[in-house]
Amino acid sequence: MTTVLRMRRAVMAGLAGTAVLGAPAAFAADNWPAKPITLVVPFASGGTTDILARTIGQKLGEALQQPVVVDNRPGAGGTLGAANVARAPADGYTFLLATVAHTMAPAIYKSLPYEFTRDLDPVGLVALTPNVLVVNPAIPVKSVSDLVAYIKAHPGKVNYGSAGIGSTEHLSGELFRALTGTDVAHVPYKGGAPMMTDLIAGQIQMAIETSPSASQHVRSGKVRALAVTTAKRSAAYPGVPTLAESGVRGYEVTTWFALMAPRGTPAAIEQRVSAELGKLLKAPEVQKRFDEQGVTAGDMTPTQLAAFIRAETDKWGKVARESGAKAE
């Protein structure tokens, strides 16, 4: 065998080995999904994130012809669930329904076992919703000004609940406390559902909760809505003013929810999920359900979502620093 022939065979063998090594990822993307997909919800069942996950999970499963299983992993303001997904295999079978809380967490916690913008890929914006300032009806207040006066007349007696340290309810409450100069104590829970249960029972007096979790209780009269947190009023709460209109100038919070994948998930899979998500968010039955809950469907490309997440991380880092909010 000549030297040239031996070299040619060695090169061909190397190319064949490269093709074999590259085959699993391509094969996985071409044949995906071949089994159920897990959608991790980083909060307790029954809250807004869980409600939205089950809505889109069902429709996504129908489109992909594989079940989408919602897996609740509550704790630490949503960071435990995010860490779980960041460590998961990047094979297209695990996704996270992230929230604005994940852009708040870096400024709240001294350290996290993952980096949100580095370890997770943005797939699509699912929804945006106002938060709603709600109180237990036993509190004798009918407006935000009434509430502020009541808190100042009863220092240390009013508590606000949240879905956990670093959650949107937590930072919303801290922003309210800072802008109104009121003495309200924070009581964290493992999700919006158990927090709302205690609010209805009178164990806590107020919360600034996400709309889908609060809306049914507002309609039933179990809690009283005083204001919404967005710049404009919400059609889901006729007659309810914004916090800015109610005298809390500079107050604006919008809670959002986004589908994320472990970094390194095949681009073809992420693109497929992003496209299917975009379709289902336009479905009449999904839009009707969102409207009933005061939710606006998301509409961003993954690239736009990545930029949005970076901007939100900067914004909430500043709010956390100015309010002094920390995970103790």
> Which candidate, 193, 226, 196, 211, places its Cα nearest to that of 293?
211
CB contact at 8 A, 83 and 112:
yes
DSSP 77: G
Instruction: Write down the pLDDT at residue 270.
Output: 98
The confidence score (pLDDT) of residue 116 equals 96
User: For the chain, which domains are there?
Assistant: 35-128+255-323 (3.40.190.150), 130-228 (3.40.190.10)
Q: What is the pLDDT of residue 245?
A: 96
Q: Which two tokens mark 219? A: 């309609």
Task: Return the pLDDT at 13.
Answer: 45
pLDDT of residue 328: 61
Q: Using CA atoms, how far apart are residues 193 and 135, in angstroms rounded to an integer?
A: 15
pLDDT tens digit sequence for 110-158: 899 999 999 999 999 999 999 999 999 999 999 999 999 999 999 989 9
pLDDT confidence of residue 190 = 85
Q: Are strands 158-162 and 120-135 parallel, antiparallel or unpaired?
A: unpaired
**Residue 22's pLDDT is what?**
44
252 exposure class (CB count in 10 Å sphere: 0-12, 13-18, 19+) = middle
Supply the pLDDT for residue 28.
57
- What is the structure's pLDDT at 29? 67
Q: Which residue has the tokens 């992909």?
A: 64
pLDDT tens-digit map of 182-195:
999 999 998 888 99
Low-confidence ranges of the chain (pLDDT < 70): 1-29, 328
